[in-house]
Structure formats: structure tokens, C-alpha cells
Homo-oligomer: A and B are copies of this chain.
Amino acid sequence: MIDPVVIGVDVGGTKVVAAEVGVDGTLARVARRPTPGRRVAVALLEDALTEAVEEVAAGRPVAGVGLAAAGFVDAAGERVAFAPHLPWRGDRVRARLTQRWGVPVALDNDANCTARAESAHGMAQGVDDALVLTVGTGIGGAIVVGGLLRRGRNGMAGEFGHARVVPDGRGCECGGRGCWEQYCSGNALVRTARAGLEAAGQGSDGALARACGGDPATLTGPMVTQGAAAGDPVALAAFAEVGSWLGVGVANLVAGLDPAVVVVGGGVSAAGDLLLEPARAALTGSLVGAEHRVVPPLLRARFGPEAGVVGAADLVRRHLA
């Protein structure tokens, strides 16, 4: 007899990742699809999710699917109210996909799922007060207070990415200006590296310029990470800038929440210390009263960019139990 598969799906602004997840958080089969965009029909996105889930299931029976969505999910886990990087606007995603797939589906915000995974198996295990961030296409967040994941009055707590950090700053997909995620995210990393390459012009022959074939318009986040790992100065400068913005924003949040630990997941966390070292320096440099207090450790999620998938699987597993 084949055990039914539990699948977690992370629905991000750039890509969809689905995976079979074991009870201890280990990933087995993984499928990826590009996110079709935020201005497309909802059906296109849900088709992509369906394909990814079917690829992971590979004909085996599925016990349930957990969805980690990069957007505002209501407190009941039924609807995606709003998602700057996805087409859902008030859609009853859980019920619709339950019906389409014929299996139990659970839904939560991607950062909340990351917090679940890291609290259950990762860097926030046993921690009463934790701040969890996902740095991907944008920034998501979750707060653990008094040992519990807190969702606020309407289930929308943790949307730190749209805090205004620069008056009249860069325009944001949310409609605002100067949002934190315009300075600290995968998008910001690529934009900063692209500007660096363009400024260097023909003189640039480093790893990053070669990776994009000399065309900065084709740069991607993983290229910047690989370039920085290879010592490319433009890529390193992009991480220094984005990491510094991460640290300043984390300092604002630490002043407000005083967590024991700050855990960073999301796609850009794959870069590890390339991102976190400049962030740690900025955190200590910007945190009010840093010399009179404990500065919390700033840690990469144990499950890195996959923490959302792991937490989503945990969520649906809990509903099945």
C-alpha cells in the first residue's frame, strides 16, 4: 500500500514551488512553475498550481495540500484578500481548490507558513517571541508572541514589506511609495545589480556580466547570488545595499517587538550570509539603545527558501490529524 502524499505549495510572486513534505520537514519530490504574473486571469495561476501539484503527486493518492500564499489571507484561512504580486483579490481560494482537486486544502500567508515551519522544526523552535521575515519577490512577515503565531484582528499581521521607509520613494506594486520591499527584496537586488552593471558599462567583465551575456536586462536573482559567491564586485555591492536595508528595517521591527530571534526565509535567503552579514551590521548600527540591550541574532531559516512549503504542509497535516 502507498501512503498518501502530503504536499506543500509556496505561491510566490516569481515562482510556484510544490513539494512532498515528510513529517519531520524533509522535502522529497519538488516541482516548480513560474508565477504567471499579477495581471493575468486567476485561472492561469490556479492552472500552474494544479500542474505543480500533479507533478509532485505523480499519480499517487494525495492526503492534502497546504498553500503558502504571498498575500493577505483572512483569519479563517479561506480567502486571499489582496496580494500585490498575485492576481487573487478576495478570491475564496481554499474552497475553490478543494473542489477542483478533491482533497483537503489549507491556506495561509507564506510568511506565516515559514514561521510555522521554523517554530516546529527550525530556528525558532521553543522560542516565545520571534520575528520571521520572508525576503523573496517582496517581503513577508510573521510574528510569534508568547509562543503563538499571531495574526492580528483580521488575520493580516506581519505585512512589514509595505512599511514606508523612504518618503516619496520608489513606487510599489501595492500602490504606495517608498515601501521597504522596494529597497530590500529579490526585485530590489536585481534592480540594484542591473544599475551597477549599467553604470560599469563596457568595462564590466566580471562573473555577473558574463552570467547575463552582457545584457543587464536578462539578470535574475540567482545570477546575482552566484555572481556574489564568485566575488563579483557589482553583485557584492548589490547584496551590501539590500542587506543594509534589511538590517535597518529589522532594527525598526526589533525596537517595536523586542524578539528573541529574527529568522529570514524566502527566496533571497538562499544567499545566506551574503545577505545576512551586511544586515547584521546595519541592525546593530541602527537599533536604538543597542549598547544597552541584547541585539537578537539574525538567522537564516533552517529550511531557507523552502520553509514556506514545509510550513504549508505542516498546516494541512494538522487539519488532517
A residues whose Cβ falls under 8 Å from a Cβ of B: 72, 81-82, 84, 89-90, 128-129, 141, 143, 145-146, 148, 150-160, 162-167, 174-176, 179, 248, 251-253, 255-260, 286, 288-289, 292-294, 296
Please judge, given known A-B contacts A146-B148, A167-B165, whether A153 and B286 are in contact too, CB under 8 Å.
no
Contact of A286 among B90, B141, B164 (CB under 8 A): B164
Which of chain B's residues have a CB closer than 8 A to the CB of A162? 255, 288-289
Which of chain B's residues have a CB closer than 8 A to the CB of A128? 153
Return A212 CB to nearest CB of chain B, in Å.
29
Please judge, given known A-B contacts A148-B146, A167-B165, A288-B159, whether A293 and B154 are in contact too, CB under 8 Å.
yes
**Are A81 and B293 within 8 A (Cβ)?**
yes
Contact of A164 among B145, B153, B248, B296 (CB under 8 A): B248
**Are B253 and A256 within 8 A (Cβ)?**
yes
**Are A288 and B179 within 8 A (Cβ)?**
yes
Which of chain B's residues have a CB closer than 8 A to the CB of A154? 258, 293-294
**Are A155 and B256 within 8 A (Cβ)?**
no
Contact of A153 among B84, B89, B296 (CB under 8 A): B296
Q: How far is the CA of A89 from the CA of B293 in the complex (A)?
A: 11
Which of chain B's residues have a CB closer than 8 A to the CB of A163? 252, 255-256
